[in-house]
Structure 1
């Protein structure tokens, strides 16, 4: 993915603004390519971890701030980059402020990740786990099923309708990741929907999922993901 970003015209020493860097997981490979990066992160604790993870890179600055409120510097950026964070930014400002941050001809590159059908995550497992959710989380839509990668539409309407960006180019990558029972429960606890459940419901849900993985799947599952890189050029 980072090679494709570079091939799209992001040269070494490019000036990059990253929105929502988290702990710096995507920032490190950007920094390794020699980019000059300002990374804006809302979470104080995550920003502190990012600074530790990026301490070896003199050309990286991590700023603790909400992107919506952060004053843009006078020098424009060559790239605005956001990995699985752009959708959290206020839709009223995220496109226009990204354009304002860029030089004319600069690139807005956003990354989204989807859990998809296929691979070794079996249809049977997903059906069974949905029964757990329908039992313990009443907000779960009944009969929910995973989409395939081809079912997920490439969408740049928000960008083109703003008049600030041209049509986007899309790059897609399908990959799989194994999880032990404990690893998978840790993952679920990072999702806001799970964290928002009342304690009793959340414990019951996680216990039922753990039993399903341990008993029927030998203590390990494999999820299939689609990662999509969307790149659009500022035209106005």
Structure 2
């Protein structure tokens, strides 16, 4: 059985591809965060910054931004991306092992990464990183398909070639249900309050080759045996090419906002 620790190590194997094909975040996400906070924060910490998809958005705030990323390969891409930026600093560390600044910061953010932090400790760690009244923003994409017919055809391929990662209920083979973050965990314990959920929906086209590269950046696909993954991707390519060679990804960016009490 694959462990969480195993799965979070696979992204560095394809760090450059991850940076190239994973979608960034729309400006509306930052608008929601700032509106909730009521002001632009004086400083920001990002947990699980990866290669900088969320970082690029947070950087537009124009304030000091500390990026905590545990995977050295991912952090290397991130550091190169912001090498000449005095406002961005990169710390190669698990969030669980990182020490926040005295007094905390006004905004802690995590883009598509909070589920990798130890579930037993992460709420307390988030509170410890924030100043009293500070805002915690967790956001990430749910990947879907704009074309229901293409989705059904791809479901058939998954069930035939790689049934272990097929899921007709979720209909989104990029997403690992075990990786999901439940915002209800922030409601208990007296550390956070005023939990709000927002969504931003966009559609992004991927040509066949680029779409298959995108699939290689998801842990479910990376953990398939190489021959199985190659067979799956060949079969998916045939389906996509037969339908015009483009996958329109429906991205639902879910934003969870909450505030530290005290």
TM exceeds 0.5?
yes
Structure with the largest fraction of helix: 2
Q: Residue 218 of structure 1 is aligned with which of 236, 244, 257?
A: 244
Gaps (5+ residues) in structure 1?
Answer: 148-153
Instruction: Please state whether the residue corresponding to 1:23 is helix, strand or coil.
Output: coil
Q: Contact 1:16–1:79 at 8 Å: present in 2 too? A: yes
Equivalent residues in 2 for 1:193-232 (5 A)? Answer: 193-215=220-242, 217-232=243-258
Residue 114 of structure 1: aligned partner: 142
Q: Residue by residue, what CA displacement relative to the aligned partner does 1:55-78 show, whole Å, maximum 9, x if unpaired?
A: 343122110001111223324111
Structure 1 residue 143, shift from structure 2 partner: 4.0
Q: Residue by residue, what CA displacement relative to the aligned partner does 1:133-189 show, whole Å, maximum 9, x if unpaired?
A: 111213245643548xxxxxx963100113200031222101101010001100110
Aligned residues: 226
Instruction: Measure the CA separation in 1 of the matches of 2:213 and 2:170.
Output: 22
Structure 1 residue 114, shift from structure 2 partner: 0.9
Instruction: Measure the CA separation in 2 of the matches of 1:141 and 1:13.
Output: 42
Q: Residue 65 of structure 1 is aligned with which of 72, 93, 103?
A: 93
Instruction: Please state whether the residue corresponding to 1:110 is helix, strand or coil.
Output: strand
* Consecutive aligned runs of 4 or more in structure 1 exceeding 6 Å deviation: none
Instruction: Measure the CA separation in 2 of the matches of 1:56 and 1:30.
Output: 16
1:143 and 1:5, CA in 2 relative to 1: closer, same or farther beyond 3 A? closer
Q: Residue 197 of structure 2 is aligned with which of 161, 167, 170?
A: 170
Instruction: Measure the CA separation in 1 of the matches of 2:164 and 2:71.
Output: 28
Equivalent residues in 2 for 1:150-161 (5 A)? Answer: 156-161=183-188
Residue 151 of structure 1: aligned partner: none
Equivalent residues in 2 for 1:37-76 (5 A)? Answer: 37-76=65-104
Gaps (5+ residues) in structure 2?
Answer: 1-28, 173-180
* TM-score normalised by the chain length of structure 2: 0.80
Is it true that 1:126 corresponds to 2:154 in the alignment?
no
Instruction: Measure the CA separation in 1 of the matches of 2:238 and 2:57.
Output: 37
Q: Residue by residue, what CA displacement relative to the aligned partner does 1:93-112 show, whole Å, maximum 9, x if unpaired?
A: 11110001111100110002
Residue 89 of structure 1: aligned partner: 117
* TM-score normalised by the chain length of structure 1: 0.88
1:166 and 1:18, CA in 2 relative to 1: closer, same or farther beyond 3 A? same
Q: Contact 1:13–1:36 at 8 Å: present in 2 too? A: no
Structure 1 residue 13, shift from structure 2 partner: 5.5
Q: Residue by residue, what CA displacement relative to the aligned partner does 1:192-221 show, whole Å, maximum 9, x if unpaired?
A: 111111122111100000011112x11112
Q: Which has the larger radius of gyration?
A: 1
Structure 1 residue 6, shift from structure 2 partner: 1.7
Instruction: Measure the CA separation in 1 of the matches of 2:182 and 2:71.
Output: 28
Residue 184 of structure 1: aligned partner: 211
CA-based RMSD? 2.0
Q: Contact 1:13–1:34 at 8 Å: present in 2 too? A: no
